Amino acid sequence: MEWYIVLSSVFVMLLALFMMGLPIFLSFLVLNLGGLYLLTGSMGGILLVVNSMFSTSTSISLAAIPLFVLLGEILFRSGSVKIIFDAVDALVGNFRARLFAVSIALSTVFGALSGSAMAVAAMMGSSLLPEMDKRDYDRKLSIGTILAGASLAPIIPPSVMAVVLGILSKVSISALLVAGILPGILLASAFLLYTMVRGFFDPSVAPLADSAARPWGERLRTALRAAPFLLIIATILGLILGGVATPTEAAASGCVAAAVICAIFGNLRLPSLIEALRATASITAMIMIIMVSSVSFSQLLNLTGSTFELVRLVSELALPLVLMFVLLQVLPFVLCMFIDQIALMIMLVPIYQPIIGALGFDPLWFWTIFLVNMSIGGITPPFGYTLFALQGAARGVEIQTVYRSVLPFIAIFIAVIAVLAMAPQIILFLPSLL
């Protein structure tokens, strides 16, 4: 059987299993076992799956995932979010569309602290969106700013998705985490500029004076209350940038710093800490099961010869590198509309890895842009999980409104990806300091 028929059949079967409602890890496991049985003609392929699952699950690099998840859980369950919320609100001046700026700034900060786009979208949808509605802000633009800001969580460190991508692509996790800082800031700035321009040309989207003036002394005191929490980010990034610790060690240090700071300045008590540990165990178990159940997927592709033939085909196409880059980024952009981001990474990274090597792309540059592309998937209709997280938290919001609200920000994402592609130093500068 021709390799392209085999490859197409594998993806069709995998998508069919997803559509049947089978959990992601079971979908990969069923496909891997069935495929290996057909290829080897015996159940000996099960040993290959078991060995792959064991070697992956015992990788020390995976330890960073539960630590980053725990960090976010501690911050959310200790009530520290309210302190950071008040600080950002106090620092943002009183100008037209100020709550749009507050929304983007808060989403960026919370995304950096938690690494979870869905958690940020749900929290902002239940807390900030009602306030924006009360002050007559345009609902679609309000929802769009919250979703756009939340989508930065996988890009700005600490990021669980960056850790998973680093493990799959065999790129330095430290470099991949640090590489997302400047693209994340660039995206947040682009979102803010867009809302300011909309407010200037269409004053109806936001009132001119939407909050009472507060003395600067009071604003400063409110902002200083959040300063200890920023030390958590400084601890993690400082240790990684300084080469003092690995991402796993930096994540552990960040958890300790978060626990101490939240206990002193927040409302972290033993019951809250136990809840955070339980939630971390549940989330981590889900991610780890997906990882270990899907790790042999690349081995299955290699055994069919599909990977080798695909690389050979790409090499013989002799298309311009720009066009190849566009094709490689368009595919995940489209598939992310229908497939979970981690599942899609597990599907595509084993195929892409030899291709980008053959094309001569810088791995760190390519995979960072790939990560930005993946982050769009969470807010891309029709099945972006972050869209549903916000709709579930914000009462009275129709899914059609959520879909329309995010379209301009998806366009901004695409424009920034083009900038990152043409100016790779935006991505490579900070990792070069490691």
Distance of alpha carbon 334 from alpha carbon 345, whole angstroms: 13
Region 44-64: mean pLDDT is 72
Which of 41-45, 182-186, 292-296 has the highest average model confidence (pLDDT)? 182-186
Distance of alpha carbon 222 from alpha carbon 115, whole angstroms: 25
At what angle are helices 306-317 and 297-304 packed, to 10 degrees? 70
Domain chopping of the chain, boundaries:
25-34+43-432
Dump pLDDT digits (tens) for 220-268: 888 888 888 778 878 887 887 777 888 788 888 888 988 898 888 878 8
Portion of the chain with pLDDT greater than 70, in percent:
88
The beta strand positions in 193-268, using DSSP E, are: none
Distance of alpha carbon 355 from alpha carbon 308, whole angstroms: 9
**pLDDT band, very low/low/confident/very high, at 193 (cuts 50, 70, 90):** very high
Q: Among the listed ranges 43-57, 258-272, 324-338, 409-423, which one has the minimum average pLDDT value?
A: 43-57
Dump pLDDT digits (tens) for 68-77: 778 878 877 8
Which of 132-146, 369-383, 410-424 has the highest average model confidence (pLDDT)? 410-424
Region 170-194: mean pLDDT is 93
What are the tokens at 27?
């979908």
Distance of alpha carbon 299 from alpha carbon 252, whole angstroms: 32
**pLDDT band, very low/low/confident/very high, at 171 (cuts 50, 70, 90):** very high
CB half-sphere exposure, 111, CA atoms < 13 A: 29
Buried b (16+ CB within 10 A) or exposed e, 350-376: bbbbebbeebebebbbbbbbbbbbbbb
* Location of structure tokens 């990034």: 237
**pLDDT band, very low/low/confident/very high, at 210 (cuts 50, 70, 90):** very low
Dihedral angle computed from the Cα positions of residues 407, 411, 412 and 413, in that order, rounded to the nearest 10 degrees: 100
Answer with the residue of higher pLDDT: 335 or 213: 335
Confirm whether pTM is higher than 0.85.
Answer: no
CB 209 within 8 A of CB 94: yes
**Mean pLDDT, the chain, as a whole number?**
81
Dump pLDDT digits (tens) for 395-425: 778 878 888 999 999 999 999 999 999 999 9
Q: What is the pLDDT at residue 406?
A: 93
